[in-house]
Amino acid sequence: MDMKDKKMTVTGDVDPVTVVSKLRKICHTEIVSVGLAKEPEKKDGGGGDNKKKEDDKKKEEDKKKEEAKKKELEAKKKKKKKKL
């Protein structure tokens, strides 16, 4: 709903004539345009490459976290053995 321009955008499987007929009971209403919803523009630049880089970074971070956990567990085991 754009209050500045006094326009309302309706998307989905809706009959525009039905929407307008219901709104006309409340206020002055007219159809400005009917068509497919606009999709957000995609930036050029290899689109999938950035996704792959992000996935690789995430995998590397996960591996580092797992290695750190293993080291902590090993350190705890060594402490327990020393105490016994």
Per-residue pLDDT tens for 27-83?
888 888 787 766 666 665 555 566 777 788 888 888 888 888 888 888 877 777 776
Entry field: residues in the chain: 84
pTM of the model: 0.38
